[in-house]
Amino acid sequence: MRKVGTVEHGSDTSRRQRMAPEARRAAILDAAQTLFFARGWDAVTIADVIESAGISKGGFYHHFAAKEDLLDGVVDRFTREAVASAEAARATSSGDALVRLNAFLAGAIRWKAKQVPTTRFVLDALRRPGNDMLFHRIQAASAAAVRPVLEGMVADGIAEGRFDVPAADLVVEAILALSQGRRNVVEAAIRATEAGDLDGATATLDGRMAAEGAFMDRMLGLPPGSVALSNPEEYRRMLRASARREDIPRRARCPQAR
């Protein structure tokens, strides 16, 4: 038996409003996502989350069994968005396989651009130890979500006799890897933009995308210039938008500087 005494656990002043379960869950998830993106996985404590979400520790553990469930929730949200975007791009586009592929890729890039805050965070945090987990999970989940769509498009192109590939699954793997490797270029471009060199940043990013297009032409057995990823105006617009956002403030206290 524990010595609890006559403590009034739920005094009227401290008791919070009762919310619908899904709403409370979403609110906690929102708070957690913001904090994770600002500080990284292991720099965020349950105490931070419950303070930000306005709930007690016990209340938190009523909705989530463990801290890891927060990660799952955030990653799930990303995955769902990516899938929805990819499926939408696939559904709305018409024409032959190449046209649809171009539309899909453009849509995916545009979705990625909307994720610049996240990207920015990942760029900052990639080398910081505590964020490996969050980064890895998001990347793996996104790739897993996009892969089947890409596979379908490549298979369609082959079936239509439009694409000529020796190994379709390897092509998909390579395309996925390219989009992940693009991160470094985007990082450089964003930094250059913030440093004032919008022209140089645009050239860098557009050059990378043109090279990716040429590479995909080669992989899919298409004549050069078929996969059209070069789009300087759009990239300029994206970079300019990315430079305008504010950084999410970091935690004030820093327990050990190491």
**Residue 248 touches which member of its own copies, DNA, none, C-beta under 5-8 Å by kind:** none
Angle CA 181–184–190, to nearest 5: 135
- Residue 258 as a binder of its own copies (CB under 8 A): the answer is yes
- Residue 244 as a binder of its own copies (CB under 8 A): the answer is no
- Residues in contact with 67: Cβ distance below 8 Å, sequence separation at least 6, in sequence order: 46
Q: Which of 218, 237, 240, 250 binds its own copies (CB under 8 A)?
A: 218
- Residue 254 as a binder of DNA (CB under 7 A): the answer is no
Nearest approach, Cβ of 93 to its own copies (angstroms)?
A: 25
User: The tokens of 242 are what?
Assistant: 């990315």
Cite the DSSP H helix spans in the chain: 21-39, 46-53, 57-63, 67-92, 97-114, 116-125, 132-159, 168-194, 198-220, 232-243
- CB-neighbour burial class of residue 146 (10 A; exposed 0-12, middle 13-18, buried 19+): buried
What DSSP character marks residue 126? T
Nearest approach, Cβ of 54 to DNA (angstroms)?
A: 7
Interface segment toward its own copies; rule CB under 8 A; list 45-53, 174-182, 231-239, 244-252: 174-182
CA 63 – CA 55 distance, rounded (Å): 11
**Residue 80 touches which member of DNA, its own copies, none, C-beta under 5-8 Å by kind:** none
Q: Which of 12, 91, 94, 161 binds DNA (CB under 7 A)?
A: 12
The residue (of 198 and 203) whose beta carbon lies closer to its own copies is: 203
Binding site for DNA (CB under 7 A): 2-4, 7-12, 14-19, 21, 24, 42, 44-47, 55-59, 61-63, 65-68, 255-256
